Amino acid sequence: MPEVDIEVRVNGTRRRARVEPRLTLADYLRDVCHLTGTHLGCEHGVCGACTVLLDGAAVRSCLVFAVQAEGAEVTTIEGMGSAEELSPVQEAFRDHHGLQCGFCTPGFVVSVTALLRDNPNPTDDEIRAGLSGNLCRCTGYQGILAAVRAAAGRS
């Protein structure tokens, strides 16, 4: 299948590339854009580690082809806060031990950011439902729940 030219805005920067139609958005971000903060935990859309914002919507970048992002705005973990200035969500994760190995963390941070944007004051049940599509194997979710509560209080 012939390669396809795409243009995507990634974290505010316009990027052009020629890609195979089968290239996933996740692999495009990691291998073409060299933004390796987006992680792949299952590549079948369950674990949520690869979550990014596509035109503002939290999506699993392993289930989207790069060509489907043509003309879209993509925000990855690299577009959310910096080591020097963490976002409120990132700060809450640090304060509440919401991460251990950090592999699932970018997906959680992106998902929580979208969740709190859409629902700034979620109940515990809404937090649990909203994040049930992100798997973490280290924390037992205890620090994550505490972090989201704290981030909601702040935002």
Partner 1 sequence: MDPTATSVAARYTGARVHRVEDARLLTGHGTFVDDVVRPGMLHACFVRSPFPRARILGVDSSSALALDGVHAVFVAADLNPDVCERWYGLTGKNTPDTPRPPLAEDEARFVGDPVALVVAESRYIAEDAADLVDVDYEPLPPVVDYLQAHESAGLVHEGYENNVAGRLRGGKPDAVEQACDSAAHVVTETIYQQAYAPVPMETRGLVVEWSGGELTIWAATQAPHEVRAFCARLLGIPEHSVRVIMRDTGGAFGQKILPLREDMCLMLAARKAPAAVKWIEDRRENLMSAGQSRHEHGVVRMAFDAGGTIAAAQIDHVQDVGAYPTPWPVGTGSAVGMLFPGPYRIPVGSWTTTSVFSNTTGRTAYRGPWQFESVAREVLLDIAARRIGLDPVELRRRNMLDRDELPYANPNGMRYDHMAPREVFEQALAIIDYDAFRREQEEARAAGRYLGIGTCSYVEPTTSAMAHFSTEGATIRVEPSGKVNVYLAGGSTGNSLETTAVQLVADALGCDIADVHTIQGDTAVTPFGAGTGGSRSGGMIAGAVAETASTLRERIVAIAAHKLEAAAEDIELAESRAAVRGTPAVGLSFAEIASAAYFDAGSLPPGMPAGLEASGRYHNKTMSTWANATHVCTCEVDPSTGVVTLLRYVVSEDCGPMINPNVVEGQIDGGTVQGIGGVLYEHLAYDEDGNPISTTFLDYLMPTIAEVPVIEHGHVETPGPGPGGHKGVGEGGAIGAPPAVVNAVADALAPFGVTITRLPLSPAALMSMLDERPVP
Interface residue list for partner 1 (CB under 8 A): 20, 22-23, 30, 34-44, 46-47, 49, 76-78, 80-83, 86, 90, 93-95, 97, 99-106, 109, 127-129, 131-145
- Shortest distance in whole angstroms from residue 117 CB to partner 1: 18
Residue number, 30 or 67, with CB nearest to partner 1: 30
What angle separates helix 105-118 from helix 88-95, to the nearest 10 degrees? Answer: 120
SS (H, E, C) the chain: CCCEEEEEEECCEEEEEEECCCCEHHHHHHHHCCCCCCCCCCCCCCCCCCEEEECCEEEECCCCEHHHHCCCEEECHHHCCCCCCCCHHHHHHHHCCCCCCCCCHHHHHHHHHHHHHHCCCCCHHHHHHHCCCCCCCCCCCHHHHHHHHHHHHHC
Nearest approach, Cβ of residue 39 and partner 1 (Å): 7
Which of 69, 131 has the CB closer to partner 1? 131
CB of 92 to partner 1, least distance (A): 10
Minimum gap (Å) between residue 132 Cβ and partner 1: 4
CB closer to partner 1, 9 vs 133: 133
Work out how close the CB of 72 gets to partner 1 at its nearest, in angstroms, rounded to a whole number.
19
Identify which of residues 23 and 71 has a Cβ nearer to partner 1 in the complex: 23
For partner 1, the closer of residues 71 and 102 by Cβ is 102
Q: Considering only CA atoms, which of 121, 107, 130 is closest in space to residue 149?
A: 121
